């Protein structure tokens, strides 16, 4: 930062940004409120002006249309993020319901929750590969047919899914073994 006398050289940028905010923030907020709930709208305005600050040199002489495009893109990103979160929550709920009635019913509640959390970290393709083999009892060849890919492609997917699941469940010792280890009398 160059200093001219006692005034920093960045002050014109700060002044420009402040003027941009004062003049256009209400209009950007009005746009965002038309497309989202008030809380999200305020986040959109904040993120829009953060982009404007970071890219101040790119803001054109007529800034409102540019700011509204940034706000629209920010709203789109918020919707995508919300959609992905809703999908993930739905998938977790569905998996939780399946574990109550499926082959994993005998696993302790703690282990079940840990496994569900680990499954949630996988991509849908990886999760499907694991579930086709582990829960549905299909062979790799059969599961590949269901997944619509070759057996070798499915084998790679399954290998990656298992590796990522091991990484996500980095605890090398299940809770049931830890309990037995802490109570020596219960070890047979």
pLDDT digits (tens, 9 = 90+) for 24-63: 999 999 899 988 889 999 999 999 999 999 999 999 888 9
Q: CATH no. for residue 164?
A: 1.10.10.10
Is residue 161 in a domain? yes
pLDDT bracket for residue 107 (50, 70, 90) = low
Q: What is the pLDDT of residue 109?
A: 63
Same domain, 14 and 62: yes
pLDDT bracket for residue 18 (50, 70, 90) = very high
Q: Determine the structural domain holding residue 175 and report its residue range.
A: 106-186
Cα within 13 Å of Cα(114), Cβ side: 17
Question: Structurally, how many domains does the chain consist of?
Answer: 2
Helix (H/G/I), strand (E/B), else coil: 8: strand
Q: CATH no. for residue 78?
A: 1.10.1740.10
Is residue 93 in a domain? no
Same domain, 76 and 115: no
Is residue 147 in a domain? yes
Cβ neighbours, 10 Å, residue 27:
14
pLDDT bracket for residue 98 (50, 70, 90) = low
Q: Please give the torsion angle defined by the CA atoms of residues 20, 25, 28 and 32, in that order, rounded to the nearest 10 degrees.
A: 150
Same domain, 73 and 129: no
pLDDT of 4 over the 90 cut: no
Q: What is the pLDDT of residue 184?
A: 41
Same domain, 176 and 140: yes
Q: What is the pLDDT of residue 179?
A: 37
Entry pTM: 0.44
Is residue 110 in a domain? yes
Is residue 101 in a domain? no
Q: What are phi and psi of 12, to 5 degrees?
A: -60, -35
Same domain, 12 and 65: yes
Is residue 98 in a domain? no
- Name the domain boundary from 84, 119, 137: 84
Q: What is the pLDDT of residue 160?
A: 92
Q: What does the alpha-carbon distance between residue 84 and residue 16 come to, in Å, rounded to a whole number?
A: 37
Is residue 91 in a domain? no
Cβ neighbours, 10 Å, residue 129:
28
Residues 112, 104: contact at Cβ < 8 Å? yes
């Amino acid at each position: 930062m160059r200093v001219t006398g006692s005034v920093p050289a960045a002050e014109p940028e700060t002044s420009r940004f402040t003027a941009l905010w004062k003049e256009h923030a209400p209009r950007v907020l009005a746009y965002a409120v038309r497309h989202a709930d008030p809380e999200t709208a305020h986040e959109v305005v904040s993120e829009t002006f953060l982009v404007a600050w970071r890219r101040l040199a790119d803001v054109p002489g007529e800034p409102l249309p540019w700011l509204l495009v940034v706000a629209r893109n920010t709203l789109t990103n918020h919707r995508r993020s919300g959609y992905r979160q809703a999908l993930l929550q739905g998938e977790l709920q569905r998996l939780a319901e399946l574990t109550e009635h499926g082959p994993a019913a005998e696993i302790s509640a703690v282990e079940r929750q840990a496994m569900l959390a680990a499954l949630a970290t996988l991509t849908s393709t990886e999760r499907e590969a694991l579930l086709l083999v582990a829960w549905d009892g299909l062979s790799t060849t059969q599961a590949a047919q269901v997944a619509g890919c070759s057996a070798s492609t499915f084998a790679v997917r399954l290998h990656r899914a298992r590796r990522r699941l091991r990484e996500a469940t980095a605890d090398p010792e299940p809770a049931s073994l830890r309990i037995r280890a802490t109570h020596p009398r219960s070890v047979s």
